[in-house]
Structure 1
Amino acid sequence: MQTQRSLLEERTRARLFAAVGFVVVLYPAASSVPSPLYPLYQQLFGFSAATLTVVFAVYVLGLLGALLVVGGLSDHIGRRPVLVGALALEAVSFVVFLLAGGVPALLVARVLQGIATGAAITTLGATMVDLAPPHAPQRAGMVTGVGTLAGLAAGAVGAGALIQLAPAPTRLVWIVLLVLLALSAVVVAVLPETSTRRPGVWKSLIPRVGVAPRLRGEVLAVTPVLLTSWALGGLYLSLGASIASSLLGVQSRLVGGLVVTLLCGTGAVASFLLRARPVRSLVAPAAGLLALGTAVTLVGIAVTSVVVAGLGTVVAGIGFGAAALACFGVFAEIAGPDERGELFAVAYVISYTAFSVPAVIAGVGSGLVGLATAAEIYGGVVVVLGALAAAINLVRARRRPVPA
Structure 2
Amino acid sequence: MKALSPGRRAQPWRYAALLALPMLGQATSAIPSPLYSLYADKWHYPPFLTTVIFAAYGAVAVVAILVSGPLSDRYGRRPVLVAAVLLLLAGLAVFVGAAGPGYLVVARMLNGLGIGTIVVVGGAALLDVDPERAARSGTLTAIAFNVGIAVAALGTAGLAQTGFHPLVLPYLADAAIALVLLVLLLAMREPHPSAGAAPLGIPRPQVPREIRGRFVFAVIGASAAWAVLGVCFSLEPSIAADAAHVHGSFFGGVVIAAVTLAAALTQVISARHPARTVALVGDTALAVLMLAGVGGFATGNAVVIIATVALQGGAYGLAFGGSLRHLTARIPAERRGAVMSMFYLLAYGALITPTLLVGIGATVWSATAIFPVFSVLAALLCLSAVAVERAPGRRAGRLTPTQAPVAEAARMSEVD
Fold conserved (TM > 0.5)?
yes
1:384 to 372, 380, 384: 380
1:317 corresponds in structure 2 to 313
Distance 2:104 2:139 in 1: 33
2:369 to 352, 356, 373: 373
User: What is the deviation of 1:317?
Assistant: 1.1
Q: Pick which of 299-308 and 107-116 moved more.
A: 299-308
Q: Deviations over 1:213-260 (max 9, x none)?
A: 111111112222112100000010010222122233121311111111
2:161 to 164, 172, 176: 164
2:62 to 36, 61, 64: 64
* TM-score (normalised: structure 2): 0.89
Distance 1:339 1:119 in 2: 20
Distance 2:305 2:255 in 1: 10
SS of the counterpart of 1:211? coil
Are the equivalent residues in 2 in contact too, given 1:26–1:151 (CA < 8 A)?
A: yes
1:227 to 191, 208, 223: 223
Percent identity reads 27
User: What is the deviation of 1:191?
Assistant: 2.0
Distance 2:77 2:10 in 1: 21
User: What is the deviation of 1:296?
Assistant: 2.1
**How many residues end up aligned between the 2 structures?**
395
2:124 corresponds in structure 1 to 126
Are the equivalent residues in 1 in contact too, given 2:51–2:235 (CA < 8 A)?
A: yes
1:150 to 147, 150, 158: 147
1:55 corresponds in structure 2 to 53
Distance 1:46 1:137 in 2: 47
1:185 to 182, 185, 192: 182
Structure 1 unaligned blocks of 5 or more: none
Alignment RMSD = 2.2
Which amino acid is 2:23 matched to? V
Q: Deviations over 1:175-203 (max 9, x none)?
A: 101101011112212322111223555x4
Structure 2 unaligned blocks of 5 or more: 402-408, 411-416
Q: Pick which of 221-230 and 354-363 moved more.
A: 221-230
Distance 2:217 2:116 in 1: 26
Are the equivalent residues in 2 in contact too, given 1:35–1:237 (CA < 8 A)?
A: yes
Distance 1:325 1:241 in 2: 23
1:24 corresponds in structure 2 to 22
Distance 1:60 1:348 in 2: 10
Are the equivalent residues in 2 in contact too, given 1:210–1:342 (CA < 8 A)?
A: yes
Distance 1:22 1:197 in 2: 22
SS of the counterpart of 1:137? helix
Q: Deviations over 1:350-375 (max 9, x none)?
A: 11111111011100111112111111
1:95 corresponds in structure 2 to 93
Distance 1:383 1:376 in 2: 11
Q: Pick which of 17-26 and 191-200 moved more.
A: 191-200
Distance 1:261 1:391 in 2: 31
1:197 corresponds in structure 2 to 195
Are the equivalent residues in 1 in contact too, given 2:60–2:113 (CA < 8 A)?
A: yes
Q: Pick which of 146-155 and 24-33 moved more.
A: 146-155
